[in-house]
A and B are shown apart, each in its own frame.
Chain A
Amino acid sequence: MTGNNLADYLTLGLIMFSIGAVGVIVRRNPIVIFMCIELMLNAVNLTFLAFARFTPTTAALADRAESFMSGQMMVVFVMAVAAAEVAVGLGIIMAIYRLRNEIDIDEMNLLKG
């Protein structure tokens, strides 16, 4: 554990999140965008875990699981939601591909006002 402190994990999370965000914004391939979203979600997971790990344990809270387990639980939820999202998203991508024979999201601008 030496050498690792909270700020390092948070910095890593920040870097991952930023990469993911930039990827979502600049990439045109929806598969890659999904990967970037996953990256952002994992950055969040990392942050959750880091906070959970570095939560100060006081005597009063020591016997209460949620004081350090709630972060871990949240990560499990995020993973489940991310899996569901990917399943739906990939389905949508497949449907679009069947409809239009391409998946370049810059071509998907039906919402243009």
Chain B
Amino acid sequence: MGNFELIWWVLALPVIGFLIQSLLGQRIVGLFGRTYGKKVAGTLAVLPIAAAFVLGAGLTLTLLDMPATSRSVVMTLFDWITVYSISIPFEVVIDPLSMTMVLVVTGIGSLIHLYATGYMAEERDYTRFFTYLNLFIAAMLILVLGNNLAMMFIGWEGVGLCSYLLIGFWYKDIANAKAANKAFITNRVGDWGFMLGMFAIVAFLGTNADRFPTGDGRYLSFDRMLPVLASLLSENPGIATLIALLLFVGAMGKSAQFPLYNWLPDAMAGPTPVSALIHAATMVTAGVVMVNRMHVVFEFSPVASGVVAVVGTFTALFAALIAFGQTDIKKVLAYSTVSQLGYMFVACGVGAYWAGMFHVVTHAFFKALLFLGSGAVIHAMAHEQDMRWYGNLRKYIPITTATMTVGWLAIIGVPYLFAGFYSKEAIIAAALGNHHATFLGGSTEFTGWLLLVGAALTTAYMTRMTLLTFGGAQGRWQQPETYEAAHADHHAHADHGHHADHGHHAHAHHHGHAHEDPHGFFYTDEEMERREALEPHEHHHHLTPEYKPKEVPVSMWVPLAVLALLSTGGTAYFMEHHHAFQNWLYPPFGGEHGTGLTMIKGHPVIDPEAVSGHPHGMLGNKMALVGLSVLVMLIGLAYAWAVYGKRLPDKEGFDMSRWAKFRLWAMNQFGYDAFILKLLVYEGGKTVGNACAALDQKVVDGIVNLTGVVAQGLGGLARQAQTGYVRGYALVMLMGGVALLVYLVSALSGGVR
């Protein structure tokens, strides 16, 4: 048991890495010179995360050796908050859920760190990048390991901060700064819900404090809180719904679900390793992790579970449709991430929490792979991100092509051979077979059927992306700036949110900064050019059909290869085989009171038998579902091959005005983003601003002015006394003297006769 102390090293190593990078990073780079400085600094950034992964793997093995009933260890470092009888220690929980996430975060995190040492090699602010990245890992570990909601919230906010810092990494370009702000502010809405949920839990538990076993006052620690919450919520389903929905608002913000998803595509303004690590593999799954951690609350509220399932389904389909209209390779992957997160929430909504986590893991593999692959493509294609100018890349970058093909096959769910199949199948089976959730009084079985439709869409848009990038001819390679300059009139109105696409090198979008930047914080066009002239990496290749894309260096393709290996069916097969992963997260124990819940050292788990998701009716046979999945996959493949197999269709050419209506509509997110921006930011902001201005000018200023007017009036009265004539003052003085005298005489006359 002693070696569970090592968990503190898992937490401390990224913090140490963060301190090294932030305090000593530039010095190290300076010390080792031009050639080795960044390599040494990069190694110092990768090593702590890799070491944390090794320690985490060791701890997971220890946990696996323990009997399933005792796989929950709480480690306390110090007393953090003590208020009256409540104490909130700084404590972590080592259980299957947290260790699964620790392995994903540190494992994929170290691979992406390694990749970033190559991808960011020419970056001036190299150590600043790794400072943020290491800090992110530390915050994410606190989020998944924390044993109370307060600690989870630290991590929750910490990863939000790092996400903000990294989206705005190239902060001198106002588009990136705006994207970072959008992410941060949208997440604030979610955090509002999460905090209200926490407050609701505290208030609810506070009125039922007598239900706690007397002890050390750790009322908010999960191992204390969840059993009490479970027994209380079974008596108060209304409260369960309230808390569950509030917590889900938090999950919606962090995990980019429908009303709050629109920050994630803009977050692609950050460097590609960031997109892979934060905005695909780890941070955006925090909502799923939180729902898993708090699943007792959702367990007792079929209504809230139904809402989760329906929101997840809608997001999965909506984002998949938007992906058809995207031309930026990273945006396609961003919408794909939003869509896949929708799948995870459907799993949680229908009660198959383990399937949600299963998809978190497999999705982390293949989506990190796809993002890193897209980074390699962008790297090779002179920082061009528009797929319409790609083509025939399989000839030039074979390693990237091979690994990204694995990612593509994994996400479209090629049966048995690739990872995505297993988790997607588990989700759809649970959605079709389970009646845990109810929405508006009915079953949510329809979500499963809709997810099958979503699978066809996913196959279609991912195949489109793959064919446009690696297939076709290279005659399409050209510099979009040249094109855009000639056709600026078409572009001016065509794309609303497109501005964040190209990161720091998007010259076409630099115009107009002077107008958007009243404070002069961001570079003007001239300053940007001067800066790029000083920094060698900013030179622009000319993308012509004769251009030679270069394969990525070894530090970048090794992570690709490892992730490709993980994305094949092997890992997922062993996780799915004999319900291994399901039993790891939620061991079978036989439910209590028909809720399917039981407690393992204070952590409620679900009886998998209650939620194992046996499809019924025509899908009673598992093979029937596999057949159906293959069928929808083939439909998607056939469509994509028919349209994109040979070349770029005319309707997706360079001239946006000739695009198909649907595609234009989808590119603009069906008007949702513009609508929200207009409603809440521009129009709504103006309305609120006007109201505030009116309140300030009329009421607040009115009160201030009133005091002035009153003082002025009183002063005007007093002013009359000041005649300016000396004799007037003398007379008043005299009268005063006489009055004093009269008073004294009359007062004293009694005594001195």
Partner pick for A109 among B721, B725, B734, CB 8 A cutoff:
B725
* Nearest-Cβ distance from residue B715 to partner chain A, whole angstroms: 9
Contact A109 B727 (CB under 8 A): no
Contact B722 A111 (CB under 8 A): yes
Does B731 have its Cβ within 8 Å of any Cβ on chain A?
A: yes
One of A21-29, A44-52, A58-66, A76-84 at the interface: A21-29
Contact B725 A26 (CB under 8 A): no
Q: How many residues of B contact A (CB 8 A)?
A: 13
Q: Known: A24-B727, A105-B726. Contact between A113 and B721, CB under 8 A?
A: yes
* Nearest-Cβ distance from residue A70 to partner chain B, whole angstroms: 21
Does A87 have its Cβ within 8 Å of any Cβ on chain B?
A: no
Q: Known: A21-B734, A25-B734. Contact between A112 and B727, CB under 8 A?
A: no
Q: Known: A21-B734, A25-B734. Contact between A111 and B724, CB under 8 A?
A: yes
Q: B734 — nearest CB in chain A belongs to which residue?
A: A21
Which residues of the partner chain A approach B719 to less than 8 Å between Cβ atoms? Answer: 113
Complex formed: what's the CA distance from A17 to B702 in Å? 54
Which residues of the partner chain B approach A111 to less than 8 Å between Cβ atoms? Answer: 722, 724
Does B730 have its Cβ within 8 Å of any Cβ on chain A?
A: yes
* Nearest-Cβ distance from residue B694 to partner chain A, whole angstroms: 37
Contact B720 A25 (CB under 8 A): no
Does B746 have its Cβ within 8 Å of any Cβ on chain A?
A: no
* Nearest-Cβ distance from residue A5 to partner chain B, whole angstroms: 19
Complex formed: what's the CA distance from A108 to B719 in Å? 17
Which residues of the partner chain A approach B722 to less than 8 Å between Cβ atoms? Answer: 111-113
Does A99 have its Cβ within 8 Å of any Cβ on chain B?
A: no
* Nearest-Cβ distance from residue A113 to partner chain B, whole angstroms: 3
Which residues of the partner chain B approach A21 to less than 8 Å between Cβ atoms? Answer: 734
Complex formed: what's the CA distance from A33 to B727 in Å? 10
Contact B725 A113 (CB under 8 A): no
Contact with B along A33-76 (1 / 0, CB 8 A): 10000000000000000000000000000000000000000000
Q: A22 — nearest CB in chain B belongs to which residue?
A: B734
Near A by CB (< 8 A), chain B positions 707-753 give: 718-727, 730-731, 734
Contact A26 B721 (CB under 8 A): no
Contact with B along A89-113 (1 / 0, CB 8 A): 0000000000000000110111111
Complex formed: what's the CA distance from A110 to B730 in Å? 16
* Nearest-Cβ distance from residue B729 to partner chain A, whole angstroms: 9
Which residues of the partner chain A approach B724 to less than 8 Å between Cβ atoms? Answer: 108-113
* Nearest-Cβ distance from residue A2 to partner chain B, whole angstroms: 28
Complex formed: what's the CA distance from A109 to B197 in Å? 72
Complex formed: what's the CA distance from A113 to B715 in Å? 10
Contact A112 B734 (CB under 8 A): no
Contact A26 B726 (CB under 8 A): no
Q: Known: A113-B719, A113-B720. Contact between A24 and B725, CB under 8 A?
A: no
Which residues of the partner chain A approach B734 to less than 8 Å between Cβ atoms? Answer: 21, 25
Which residues of the partner chain A approach B725 to less than 8 Å between Cβ atoms? Answer: 105-106, 109
* Nearest-Cβ distance from residue A17 to partner chain B, whole angstroms: 10
Which residues of the partner chain A approach B731 to less than 8 Å between Cβ atoms? Answer: 25
Complex formed: what's the CA distance from A106 to B727 in Å? 9
Contact A109 B723 (CB under 8 A): yes
Complex formed: what's the CA distance from A112 to B724 in Å? 4
Contact B727 A105 (CB under 8 A): yes
Q: B728 — nearest CB in chain A belongs to which residue?
A: A25
* Nearest-Cβ distance from residue A53 to partner chain B, whole angstroms: 21
Which residues of the partner chain A approach B727 to less than 8 Å between Cβ atoms? Answer: 24-26, 105
Complex formed: what's the CA distance from A8 to B721 in Å? 39
Contact B723 A25 (CB under 8 A): no
Which residues of the partner chain A approach B721 to less than 8 Å between Cβ atoms? Answer: 113
Q: A37 — nearest CB in chain B belongs to which residue?
A: B730
Q: Which of A33, A108, A113 has the most chain B CB within a 10 Å cutoff?
A: A113
Complex formed: what's the CA distance from A109 to B721 in Å? 13
Q: B716 — nearest CB in chain A belongs to which residue?
A: A113
Complex formed: what's the CA distance from A73 to B287 in Å? 96
Q: Known: A21-B734, A25-B731, A25-B734. Contact between A112 and B723, CB under 8 A?
A: yes
Which residues of the partner chain B approach A112 to less than 8 Å between Cβ atoms? Answer: 722-724
Complex formed: what's the CA distance from A50 to B721 in Å? 38
Complex formed: what's the CA distance from A27 to B685 in Å? 71
Complex formed: what's the CA distance from A26 to B731 in Å? 9
* Nearest-Cβ distance from residue B751 to partner chain A, whole angstroms: 19
Partner pick for A24 among B718, B720, B723, B730, CB 8 A cutoff:
B730
Complex formed: what's the CA distance from A35 to B606 in Å? 110
Q: B729 — nearest CB in chain A belongs to which residue?
A: A111
Complex formed: what's the CA distance from A73 to B734 in Å? 26
Q: A28 — nearest CB in chain B belongs to which residue?
A: B727
Contact A108 B723 (CB under 8 A): no
Complex formed: what's the CA distance from A106 to B721 in Å? 16
Complex formed: what's the CA distance from A21 to B730 in Å? 9
Complex formed: what's the CA distance from A25 to B734 in Å? 9
Q: Which of B720, B722, B726, B730 has the most chain A CB within a 10 Å cutoff?
A: B726
Which residues of the partner chain B approach A106 to less than 8 Å between Cβ atoms? Answer: 725
Which residues of the partner chain B approach A33 to less than 8 Å between Cβ atoms? Answer: 726
Q: Known: A21-B734, A25-B731. Contact between A108 and B720, CB under 8 A?
A: no
Which residues of the partner chain A approach B718 to less than 8 Å between Cβ atoms? Answer: 113
Which residues of the partner chain A approach B720 to less than 8 Å between Cβ atoms? Answer: 113
* Nearest-Cβ distance from residue A45 to partner chain B, whole angstroms: 18
Q: B738 — nearest CB in chain A belongs to which residue?
A: A21
Complex formed: what's the CA distance from A25 to B723 in Å? 14
* Nearest-Cβ distance from residue B331 to partner chain A, whole angstroms: 73
* Nearest-Cβ distance from residue B730 to partner chain A, whole angstroms: 5
Complex formed: what's the CA distance from A33 to B730 in Å? 11
Complex formed: what's the CA distance from A33 to B731 in Å? 13
Complex formed: what's the CA distance from A25 to B728 in Å? 7
Which residues of the partner chain B approach A113 to less than 8 Å between Cβ atoms? Answer: 718-722, 724
Contact with A along B353-378 (1 / 0, CB 8 A): 00000000000000000000000000
* Nearest-Cβ distance from residue B31 to partner chain A, whole angstroms: 75
Complex formed: what's the CA distance from A20 to B722 in Å? 24
Complex formed: what's the CA distance from A89 to B730 in Å? 16
Complex formed: what's the CA distance from A26 to B727 in Å? 7
Q: A113 — nearest CB in chain B belongs to which residue?
A: B722
Complex formed: what's the CA distance from A110 to B724 in Å? 6
Complex formed: what's the CA distance from A109 to B727 in Å? 11
* Nearest-Cβ distance from residue A10 to partner chain B, whole angstroms: 14
Complex formed: what's the CA distance from A31 to B343 in Å? 104
Complex formed: what's the CA distance from A112 to B728 in Å? 11
Complex formed: what's the CA distance from A33 to B726 in Å? 11
Near A by CB (< 8 A), chain B positions 668-718 give: 718
Complex formed: what's the CA distance from A105 to B729 in Å? 12
Near A by CB (< 8 A), chain B positions 102-156 give: none
Complex formed: what's the CA distance from A113 to B719 in Å? 5
Contacts A108-B726, A113-B719 aside, 17 further interface pairs with beta carbons under 8 A come to A21-B734, A24-B727, A25-B730, A25-B734, A26-B727, A33-B726, A105-B726, A105-B727, A109-B723, A109-B724, A109-B725, A111-B722, A112-B722, A112-B723, A112-B724, A113-B718, A113-B724
15 A-B pairs whose Cβ atoms sit less than 8 Å apart in the complex: A24-B730, A25-B731, A25-B734, A26-B727, A33-B726, A105-B727, A106-B725, A109-B724, A109-B725, A111-B722, A111-B724, A112-B723, A112-B724, A113-B721, A113-B722
Q: Which 10 A-B pairs have the closest CB atoms?
A: A109-B724, A112-B724, A113-B722, A113-B719, A111-B724, A25-B727, A25-B731, A24-B730, A105-B726, A25-B730
Binding site for A on B (CB under 8 A): 718-727, 730-731, 734
Binding site for B on A (CB under 8 A): 21, 24-26, 33, 105-106, 108-113
